[in-house]
Amino acid sequence: MSELTVKIPFGHSYLNITLSKERLRLVKSNPYPPLTMSSSQVVERSLQSPVGGKRLSELAQSCKEMVVITSDQTRALPSSVTLPPLFSEARRFNPSLRIVLLVATGLHRPMTKSEIMEKFGSQVLDTCSVVVHDANDPKQLVTLDPLSTGTPLIVNRIAYESELLITEGLVEPHFFAGFSGGRKSILPGICGYETIMSNHSPLNISYQAATSGNLEGNPIHIEALEAAQKLNVRFTLNTVIDLEGTIRACFAGDLDSSFRKAVEFVKHHTMVNVPRSPVTVVSNLGYPLDRDLYQGVKGIFTGSLVTEEGGMVILVAECQDGIGHENFYKIFLGQNSPDSIYNKILSGAITGRDLWQVQVLAKVLMRNRVVVVTGNKITSEIASNMFLLRFNSIDEALAQAEAWYGAHCQVNVIPEGPGVIPKPVI
């Protein structure tokens, strides 16, 4: 019986899973066309041919200052590659243009100085100033008229007062916003706590339309787009990368038009039909997305989409930063079951930040067993308190799966984790 070995991203490295070809079903994105230019050239070409609007150099030629909203350390957006050509394009007719880099953190922790240097590099940092958004700092925020849904709109003052506001983002599947990138740079990226909590409310998260790969009728997306339009985002650079972090495509231009182009490209390459299996092994795309268990919920959700009811999802994630968000863990403590947590969230009996991640994980746990193969920052006690099992290796997790589902159970393997959209074949 021939065997197949598949590499699963784990931090900065990989772990291997080896099973017979009869048992292992490899789930992967549709192949990208061969690269014919460098990553910088891909960025430059998109900037030269914007979708649905003027070139950035035309928009910036009479401005004194431009604000660029970018992603934080939790996103794999290669800003050290994308921003130099973006800055060059902005200064093509205006070499003295001042540029402020506004880091969209949402409710994540602030970036450290070393993380800022690692992500952006000296070529970028020597030519702009950097501000890290803080959703809880009233001095940074300004309150605008609420969104049409009633959600309060509280945003970063620098973004609101900017002469020219643009964004850059990574477009990939997102487990409740449909896709990342584009409008998400604004909401949740540079909004205040109350705005983010309202947008990520239990009701919004519970909608069937709020799921990976879908924008139609998705309340998370609809509010984020309206917020971005209210702030008058004039230009956006949307980047698509592969599993190795190589830039595969960029779509620049009008906020919504360029984002939609990027979404169609991502859909074509990431949406795949997959039969359900009793066991699914899934990554969280390696570093930086697997740096904590909070982000790991994205991989767990992806795996659950193609796992049979009562089956087991095995998340492979290093979690070098541990849990990631303290309240995410605290909500689980002392609770009786995932069902109880989920119902308390919907009824309003449990409130506070990070509810959305807890809500999604609890819903998966109501249907599936969840196992984490992880580093030493996530102990067995922590895992147990969250209704999870923890193992040091994929082999140990598979041994448990075989004990529950049989020695010949089928296993779906998703190395790209939340980077793909597996559609269950009914």
**Residues with a known catalytic role:** 108, 174
* Cα 407-413-416 angle, rounded to 5 deg: 165
Angle between helices 79-90 and 39-48 (to 10 degrees): 40
Q: Which residues of 107-126 are buried (b: 16+ CB within 10 A; e: fewer)?
A: bbbebeeebbeebbbeebbe
Query: How is residue 78 annotated by DSSP?
Result: -
338: its two tokens: 């995932």
348: its two tokens: 């309003």
373/238 Cα distance (integer angstroms): 32
Cβ-based neighbours of 224, under 8 Å, separated by 6 or more: 177, 183, 184, 186, 187, 188, 199
361/291 Cα distance (integer angstroms): 17
Cβ-based neighbours of 71, under 8 Å, separated by 6 or more: 77, 79, 103, 104, 168, 169, 170, 185, 189
How would you classify residue 417: left for phi > 0, otherwise alpha for psi between -120 and 50, otherwise beta? left
Residue 190, classed as helix, strand or coil, is: coil
DSSP assignment of 23-61 equals TEEE--PPPPPPP-S-HHHHHHHHHHS-BSS--HHHHHT
The HSE-up count of residue 220 (CA atoms within 13 Å, CB side) is 32
Query: How is residue 368 annotated by DSSP?
Result: S
* Cα 138-139-140 angle, rounded to 5 deg: 90
96/64 Cα distance (integer angstroms): 8
Closest C-alpha to 82, from 191, 236, 187, 186: 236
